[in-house]
Amino acid sequence: MAFPVDRPRRLRRTETLRSLVRETRLEPSDFILPLFAVTGRGVRKPIGSMPGTAQLSVDNVVEEARSAWKAGVRSIILFGIPDKKDAEGSAAWDANGPVCTGFKALKDALPDMALIADVCLCEYTDHGHCGPLERDARGHLAVANDRTLPLLAKAAVAYAQAGADIVAPSDMMDGRVAAIRRGLDEKGLQETAVLSYAVKYASGFYGPFREAAESAPREGPKDRKAYQMDPANVREARREARLDIEEGADMLMVKPALAYLDVIAEVKRITDLPVAAYNVSGEYSMLKAAAAKGWIDERRVGLEILTGIKRAGADLILTYSALDAARWLQDLA
Ligand code: PBG
């Protein structure tokens, strides 16, 4: 018998054979498109560090979501940029703000689209932290965990009442899934699902998002390391995931995605809940920047990144490339 006997290359010879044995397939319905809503009409203000994305007024949010729907994307997640910020982030639950009015308009225009609300206060606080600041016992300014919880619940209720199907807390306060679940149930919103950013790291990859959402810390602690997770930890990821499962989360998220593929796989291993991964702003910006320089092929590398995230165990992927990728997949089909 000719050596070698075992020849994996036999199944790689043609695209048809490769396709027969392909283990992971991307579909447009795997993607969740993040959008940034601002007040006004006809606003489309490009975000410099994230080419192809923009701050959008509600009319343009609806148009962007409609394009995504037509391309097969079934869900969007909305972030709000308010006109006014304060110490508590009270614009977060403003029923007349861009997020709540955005959800109402989206429900009317695209009744079947799954609408997700990011629940966090950092876009709404004047200091840029994810909850109100308070001096701790030693006089240091820190985000007040327990004072933040009812505010998050209030925001979640406002988004659900405006039409959000799913609320997604991204603040990393302890106990927030339970607080939000209780807040929703008390208002008769038992049907609203909670997608917890259960495993969210203190990551440098959020840099471009903070420009987009105008949410970088400006006062108090200079970063979010005292509430978001240390990038070095994976056992702690299991602990965070388990806590959120116990508190009643319907889905779990790992964020960022690319430097955390092992964490996605680990969370998937310990839960039967759907697992989402956030292909965050810095990951998107790196792809765009290298492609703009002609150093990589955006389409090929973009699909490879998304395939890798799905192969690691993500059932859903939040990605700024959602619309592009949905179109790339149709071209390939
Ligand atoms: C809000 C929030 C952030 C992101 C999603 N929700 C930023 C942060 O924690 O500073 C990041 C998303 C991205 O980088 O694409 N807390």
The domain segmentation of the chain, as residue ranges, is 21-332
Mean pLDDT (whole number) for 127-151: 95
Each residue of 91-114: pLDDT tens digit? Answer: 999 999 999 999 999 999 999 999
**pLDDT for 2:** 80
**pLDDT for 211:** 87
Among 143, 206, 320, say which to mutate for ligand 1: greatest number of ligand atoms within 8 Å of CB: 206
**Residues near 263 by Cβ (< 8 Å), separated by ≥ 6?**
199, 234, 237, 254
**pLDDT for 213:** 87
pLDDT for 333 beyond 80: no
Each residue of 194-231: pLDDT tens digit? Answer: 999 999 999 999 999 998 888 999 999 999 999 999 99
Output the average pLDDT for the chain: 97
- Is residue 200 part of the annotated active site? The answer reads yes
- Is residue 255 part of the annotated active site? The answer reads yes
Rounded distance from Cα 209 to ligand 1 centre (Å): 6
Sign of CA pseudo-dihedral 231, 236, 237, 241: negative
How would residue 332 be classed by pLDDT, with cut points 50, 70 and 90? low
Q: From the candidates 200, 268, 288, 310, give the one annotated as an active-site residue.
A: 200
Mean pLDDT (whole number) for 286-314: 98
Q: CA 242, 246, 249 angle in degrees (round to 5)?
A: 90
For 21-332, CATH number? Answer: 3.20.20.70
**pLDDT for 212:** 86
Mean pLDDT (whole number) for 64-74: 98
Helical H segments across the chain, by residue range: 15-20, 58-70, 98-109, 145-162, 176-186, 207-213, 235-246, 261-270, 281-292, 298-312, 322-332
**pLDDT for 331:** 84
